[in-house]
Each structure stands twice: as C-alpha cells, then as structure tokens.
Amino acid sequence: MPKNRHQSLGLTDQDVLNMYETMLLARKVDERMWLLNRAGKIPFVISCQGHEGAQVGAAFALDKTKDYILPYYRDVGVVLHFGMTVKELMLSAFAKAEDPNSGGRQMPGHFGQKKNRIVTGSSPVTTQVPHAAGIALAGKIDKKDFVTFVSFGEGSSNQGDFHEGANFAGVHKLPVILMCENNQYAISVPIQKQLACEKVSDRAAGYGMHGVTVDGNDPLEVYKVVKEARERAVRGEGPTLVETLVHRLTPHSSDDDDRSYRTKEEIEEAKKKDPIYTFASYLKEIGLLTEELEQNMQTKIASIIDEATDYAENAPYAAPEHALKHVYGN
Amino acid sequence: MPIMSYIEAVTAALREEMERDEKVFLLGEDVGKKGGVFKATQGLYEQFGEERVIDAPLAESAIAGVGIGAAMYGMRPVCEIQFADFIMPAVNQIISEAAKIRYRSNNDWNCPITIRAPFGGGVHGALYHSQSVEAVFANQPGLKIVIPSTPYDVKGLLKAAIRDDDPVLFFEHKRAYRLIKGEVPADDYVLPIGKADVKLEGDDITVITYGLCVHFALQAAERLEKDGISVHLLDLRTVYPLDQEAIIEAASKTGKVLLVTEDNKEGSVMSEVSAIIAEHCLFDLDAPIKRLAGPDVPAMPFAPTMEKFFMMNAEKIEKAMRELAEF
C-alpha cells in the first residue's frame, strides 16, 4: 500500500479530493479558453497549465476567509479557491460588463475582486510585491491577524519592486508570503539568462527572510511550506520566500509560439510531471480517487464550464460611454 | 489668527489629520526620528510613535508601492518623497498603479494615498534637488496634483488631499518652506481640490501661475500698480486636472495673458493652460498668449550665475508683464 502523505499535514481525504478538483477545474477552464481563442471568440489567453499544483497547494494553505492575495496573471488555481467563479473568469475572458475583475476593461488574467480580498493587478510585472507589504503593514497597524500572499514568475524576481518590496517586508517583519512560480522561462528567456544565483529562493537571505525551494508539481509539498510560512508570519516572524519549480506546458500566451525557443522533447518531458496526472496518480494509488469519482468530477466540471461559457458569450458588453466612468470617485 | 510658515502649515495639517483619523500614517525616508530633512514631520514621531511615523528603507518605489497597498486596504497613508527629483523610481507605481486602480477595477478598489514631495529651485540644489516634476504626471487621469502657494492653502489642501478617496500628489515648493509666512486658522478646514484662486482682481492683464511664482507675481503686480497697470492674478493651486472654468474666466477678463511656471517651458503645465485659452478664448484675446518659463535645459545648474539665470523671479515676471501691458 502506498504511503498516505496528506494525513500528517492535517489534510483530510475530502481536502485532497477538493484540491484535485480545483486543479482539474483550473486546467479545464484554461483548455476551454484556448479553444475559444483559436475559434476566434476571445482575443487572448494566458495560461495556468502546469502551475495548478503549486497554485492550489498554496491557496489551500491560506485562510480564504481573511487573507489577502495578490496573484499574478497565471493564478487561475489561486483565485478559484478564493471564491472567483468559472462564470466570472469567462466573463473576464469575453470582456463583458459583468466581469468582476474589471468590467471588461483589462485583459484576462488581471485578477481583482474586493469581496474575496483578491487585490487588483496590472500588467507591469511585480508591482504587486510592495502592495502586499503595504497591506500587511496596514493589517499590523490595524491589529489584524491576516497574512498577504503574493505570487510572480522567476523573471519577475529581477524587478526592482520585488527587491524593494521584499526588503520592506523583511525590515518590518511583515506577514507576507512571497511565492515564485518558477517555470524556467520569462517568455522565451531561460532562467540561466535571468538569474546569476542558483535558485530564486537564494534571494531570501538578502532580505533576512526564510527561503525555500520545492517541487511545484506536488501540491502537498507546496501546501506544507506555505502552511509553515503562514504560521511563521502569524507568529510575527516575518515574510517567507517560497520558490515552486513548475513547468509551463503552453506557450507564454496565445500570442506566443514557443517552438522558436524550446524543443518538443523538453515539453514532452515536462508533461510526464504534469501535476494533474501525478496528483491523480497519488490519489488513485491510495484508493481515494476511484474511476467513478473521477468521471463524476469530469462531468460536473464540463457542465460548469459549458454553462459559464454560454453565459459569458451571451452577456452584454459595457456601453461604450462606460469607458468614461470611474476615473475618480468624486 | 496664528502666523505660520509654509512648512509649519504642512506639519499642522499632518498632525491634525493624524489626531482626527487613526488610519492616517506617514511613510518616508527620515520622516521618523529626524522629523524629515526639512523638518516637515518634526514632533510627529514623538506624538504618534514609530508605528504611524515610519522611517522607510531608502527605496522610493517601495515607499509609493507600500503606501498604495495600505491605501487599497483602507488606510490613509501620506508618503514623503524626500525631493521631487527622486520620485522617478516610483513613477511606475504612481502612474501604472495608483492612477489606474479605481479605473481598472471598475470602481471595485480605490487608492486614497497622498504623496508629498518638496520641489523647485533657488536653494543651491543643482540639477537633482531643484526640479519641477509636475508635468511628468499632469497627463495621467486618475491622479490629482496639488501645488499650494500659501500656508493657508497648504493646510486646507493637504487635509483635503488626505481625505480624498483618490491618489493626490502634493508638491511643496521647498524655497517657500521658510520664506513664505501667512495667517493660518487654528481650526479644522479643508479647501477644494481642483479649484483655482483669484489672488488679485485686475483689468489690464491676466497672470496665471502656481506655487512660489504666485509670490513673485504678487511682487511684480505691486510694482505695476504704481504705474497704473492693474493685474488679474490667478493661482491654479491644482495643476491636474485643471480648473478650466477659472482659467477661461481669468483669460477672458483682460484679453492679455501671461502664464508663468518655474518648470521648463515645452510641455509644461502652462502649455496645457495655453491650449485651453486658445480653444475657448480666441475672440477675447487682445495679444498672443505669452508663456514665461524656465529654459529648455535638463535642470537647474549649481553655480549661482546659472541658477539665477534659470530660476524665476519677480523681475523677470515684471518685465514680461510690462511688455504684455504695452502690447
């Protein structure tokens, strides 16, 4: 009998099945968006494929009733767990008025939903790291016990705002979890041309924070380190930099063709470690995920996505003059 | 009514707002124990403690960015950039983030941050301690830019900036800090952001300016008055978005308009003021719109000869006023 790895982490059987279902949902939503894009129905997709294990493992380790998250553009798995619905993601993909992220103003992947404490983001990368420090600082002044979770790619860890924000969080011992989803490519530029140090997590030392690198294909490993990071943050021991090693299973975006900078073999190799399959294998090996259960999940997810797609496709756009609204509040 | 210097009015506004609302806190380099390099935050660290008067690491993008995060949460951060010249590393945070947060989230989030910075020359500050940077931000919808000229306006407008639900850049002329004094009521008052102020009613020529130049223009107007030339003087106070109504009214009144800024001429705030007048007042004008500004060189040099050459003063304004009056 294979070893049960989740019980010792405090996760129930139902928890891990929920994690798998969220990962699968993120994957299937993403796949549908690519189909819609290739069919000419939506202008742009930027993918979570290959990152779902890291995203969902991390999100489950947070307190979704009070923590603030500052996701980056690939974090479909994170925002789904924090309460954004598939319908809302589809409304964003179709740029419809009802899209809670931006009312159809921003490209897909620019998440934001105040009621779920998903903090609005932009396209210039890593500007959200100082924001995460600022929200954590505000919580400290306001005597609240939430943490902030901020994610980004390894290329983005070169930006000044990563370093300035990490340093501020370190100096003020703020409850911030910085998570890098290191997929080895910043669009086309490989990690060897991005970082002179071996690991992104090596950078933690410069800011007096704990740094750790884990296999991002394994949601349980990610859950464990993010959970520990959250506990440290709540104890007042400051921020943690978590580096998750993942693979980007698609081109950078629907406008990218990755055949010009990486080989087919490399992607085939990465697909063998696809977190959707490896986590499903684990759940099957320990007898939790039966064929019937998996089939039910697939059917349920397909129907949620179908319904969301139809709804979003038929939903109205914002009126043209709505472009003039909400520059200022007064 | 108490007489205060321009910088004392800054401190008073900060103190009163921090006493009024515990969500107000300060963040910047040297703002804590030292009380600021100009002493704008003097005494506040002692009164409110290090949790609300925070000495930030020397990194401007984080000062703005951390403030933006706290503002999105619902706090009222007042961030200080030590010199306006050093705001450049924070431009991405201010323009890509603060200015767009309400708009990009379709009104779901907002960012009530105030960013204060001393600007302007005439203090031997050379290239990087003398600049006027308002034009960098003055075409960014979502931002408001306030530049007060008097201690009275400083207190009323800084309070308004802190209470505003959107990001406000508050530029304080550093030479005005101790040079300019005036009456400031001890009570709580706010002045409206976005409203210009008529400093002088006159009939012969109109002068529109802001910041320290308002005082130079007042001095020049006094000299012209002796020769029977009456000057209408408008202080913009908010340089973005502009008070178009007040500009049109002031320009139409005399038909002869002089626009004064210490900033470089091309692309300055005054270029936009000029465009507004050209669009709306063509048939009321009796002379070409005249701009008086700093030369189009990168910044103010250190040597006193060159600094004086660059810097605005009452004499330069007086000369331009007389030429316009005689046109």
Tell me what ipTM this predicted complex has.
0.97
Query: Is residue B222 in a domain?
Result: yes
pLDDT at A1 over 70: no
Name the one residue in this structure whose structure tokens are 């009323």: B156
The whole-angstrom distance between A220's CA and the closest CA on chain B is 30
Query: Is residue A255 in a domain?
Result: yes
B133 and B256 inside one domain: no
Residues ≥6 apart with Cβ < 8 Å to A270: A50, A247, A249
Look up the domain containing A75 and give its range.
Answer: 5-319
Q: How many residues are given for chain A? A: 330
Chain A residues with CB under 8 Å of B165 CB are: 328-330
Residues paired with A181 in a beta bridge: A153, A244
- Per the structure, how many domains does chain A have? 1
Closest CA to B251 of B232, B269, B230, B266: B232
Across residues A135-158, what is the average pLDDT?
97
B136 and B213 inside one domain: no
Residues ≥6 apart with Cβ < 8 Å to A78: A55, A56, A58, A59, A69, A71, A149, A151
Query: Is residue A69 in a domain?
Result: yes
Across residues A117-130, what is the average pLDDT?
98
Residues ≥6 apart with Cβ < 8 Å to B27: B54, B56, B63, B66, B67, B70, B77, B78, B79, B80
Residues ≥6 apart with Cβ < 8 Å to A30: A45, A47, A48, A49, A76
> Which residue of B53, B66, B102, B113 to mutate against A (max A Cβ within 10 Å)?
B66
Query: Is residue B188 in a domain?
Result: no
B130 and B256 inside one domain: no
Q: What is the pLDDT of residues A275-312, one digit of tens each?
A: 999 999 999 999 999 999 999 999 999 999 999 999 99
Query: Is residue A131 in a domain?
Result: yes
Question: In angstroms, rounded to a whole number, what is the distance separating the alpha carbons of residues B256 and B72?
Answer: 45
Can you give the three-state secondary structure of chain A, one letter per residue? CCCCCCHHHCCCHHHHHHHHHHHHHHHHHHHHHHHHHHCCCCCCCECCCCCHHHHHHHHHCCCCCCCEEECCCCCHHHHHHCCCCHHHHHHHHCCCCCCCCCCCCCCCCCCCEHHHCECCCCCCCCCHHHHHHHHHHHHHHCCCCCCEEEEEECHHHHCHHHHHHHHHHHHCCCCEEEEEEECCEECCEEHHHCCCCCCHHHHHHHHCCEEEEEECCCHHHHHHHHHHHHHHHHCCCCCEEEEEECCCCCCCECCCCHHHCCCHHHHHHHHCCCHHHHHHHHHHHCCCCCHHHHHHHHHHHHHHHHHHHHHHHHCCCCCHHHHHCCCCCC
Q: With CB atoms and an 8 Å threshold, state whether B97 touches A131.
A: yes
Burial of B78 (0-12, 13-18, 19+ CB in 10 A): buried
B88 and B223 inside one domain: no
Catalytic residue among A248, A259, A322, A328, which? A248
Query: Is residue B186 in a domain?
Result: no
Q: What is the pLDDT of residues A193-215, one digit of tens each?
A: 999 999 999 999 999 999 999 99
Which pTM does this prediction carry? 0.97
B174 and B232 inside one domain: no
Query: Is residue A43 in a domain?
Result: yes
DSSP helix/strand/coil, B118 = strand
B168 and B221 inside one domain: no
Q: What is the pLDDT of residues A31-64, one digit of tens each?
A: 999 999 999 999 999 999 999 999 999 999 999 9
Which regions in chain B score pLDDT beneath 70? none
Q: With CB atoms and an 8 Å threshold, state whether A119 touches B72.
A: yes
Query: Is residue A329 in a domain?
Result: no
B 254-283 residues inside an 8 A Cβ radius of A: none
Query: Is residue A16 in a domain?
Result: yes
CATH assignment of the domain containing B310: 3.40.50.920
Across residues A74-80, what is the average pLDDT?
98
Banded model confidence at residue A330, pLDDT cuts 50, 70, 90 = confident
Q: With CB atoms and an 8 Å threshold, state whether B62 touches A141.
A: no
Active site residue A68: no
DSSP helix/strand/coil, B223 = helix
Question: In angstroms, rounded to a whole number, what is the distance separating the alpha carbons of residues A156 and A202?
Answer: 15
- Per the structure, how many domains does chain B have? 2
Question: In angstroms, rounded to a whole number, what is the distance separating the alpha carbons of residues B157 and B195?
Answer: 10
Residues ≥6 apart with Cβ < 8 Å to A116: A64, A79, A82, A83, A84
CA dihedral A231, A234, A235, A240 (to 10 degrees): 60
Query: Is residue A326 in a domain?
Result: no
Last residue of a domain, one of B154, B181, B208: B181
Q: With CB atoms and an 8 Å threshold, state whether B59 touches A167.
A: yes
A 41-100 residues inside an 8 A Cβ radius of B: 68, 99-100
Question: Contacts by A40-43 with C-beta closer than 8 Å and gap 24+?
Answer: A41/A94, A41/A313, A42/A93, A42/A94, A42/A95, A42/A108, A43/A95
B72 and B28 inside one domain: yes
B149 and B257 inside one domain: no
Q: How far is CA A207 from the centre of its chain?
A: 24
B 53-112 residues inside an 8 A Cβ radius of A: 54, 56-57, 59, 61-62, 64-75, 77, 89, 92-93, 96-97, 100-110
Read off φ and ψ for residue A68, nearest 5 degrees. Answer: -100, 135
Angle at A109 between CA A108 and CA A112, to 5 degrees: 100
Last residue of a domain, one of B150, B181, B212: B181
Question: In angstroms, rounded to a whole number, what is the distance separating the alpha carbons of residues B238 and B195?
Answer: 7
Query: Is residue B190 in a domain?
Result: no
Q: How far is CA B79 from the centre of its chain?
A: 15
Active site residue B124: no
B177 and B213 inside one domain: no
pLDDT for A2: 81
* Partner residue opposite A160 with nearest CB, options B61, B67, B109: B61
What does the DSSP 8-state code read for residue B86? Answer: G
Asked if A177 contacts A204 with a C-beta cutoff of 8 angstroms, the reply is no
A 128-167 residues inside an 8 A Cβ radius of B: 129-142, 160-161, 164-165, 167
Question: In angstroms, rounded to a whole number, what is the distance separating the alpha carbons of residues A166 and B129?
Answer: 28
B150 and B19 inside one domain: yes
List Cα–Cα distances, B51 to A47, A131, A148, B243, in angstroms.
Answer: 41, 18, 19, 38
Asked if B122 contacts B307 with a C-beta cutoff of 8 angstroms, the reply is yes
pLDDT for B181: 98
CATH assignment of the domain containing B76: 3.40.50.970
> From B94, which residue of chain A is nearest by alpha-carbon distance?
A127
B131 and B18 inside one domain: yes
Chain A residues with CB under 8 Å of B69 CB are: 119, 130-138
DSSP helix/strand/coil, B123 = coil
B17 and B149 inside one domain: yes
Look up the domain containing B318 and give its range.
Answer: 195-324
Give the up-direction half-sphere exposure of residue B152: CA atoms within 13 A in the CB hemisphere: 9
Last residue of a domain, one of B151, B181, B211: B181
Q: With CB atoms and an 8 Å threshold, state whether A134 touches B66.
A: yes
CATH assignment of the domain containing A124: 3.40.50.970
